[in-house]
Structure 1
Amino acid sequence: MVMRWLVFFVVVSSTARALTAVVAPKETLRSLFVGVRDPVLADPVTKSPFLERTLRMVGGDPETTFVSPTAVYGTKQNAYLDLVDPKQQPPSFEDLGVSLRRFLARSPSVRVQTDTFRSPLTAFLYERGWRQNFERNGFPGPDKEFAEAKEFFGDVGVLVDLSCGTGLMTRRFLKQLPETRIIAADYSEAMLLETRRRIDSRLPDLVRVDAAQLPFQTSSVDAIHAGAAMHCWPRLEDALAEIHRALTPEGGKFFATTFLTGALGTSL
Structure 2
Amino acid sequence: MTEPAVRCTGLSHSFGTTRAVDGVDLEIQPGEVFGLLGPNGAGKTTTLRMITTLLPTAPGRIAVFGVDVARRRMAVRRLIGYVPQQLSADGALTGRENVALFARLFDVPRARRGEQVRLALDLVGLAGDADRTAGTYSGGMIRRLELAQALVSSPRLLVLDEPTIGLDPVARSSVWDRITAIRAATGMTVLVTTHYMDEAAQYCDRVALLHTGRVRALGTPAGLAAGLGPESSLDDVFRAVTGDRLDGDEGGIRSVRAARRTARRLG
TM-score (structure 1 length as normaliser): 0.28
Larger Rg: 1
Which structure is higher in strand share?
2
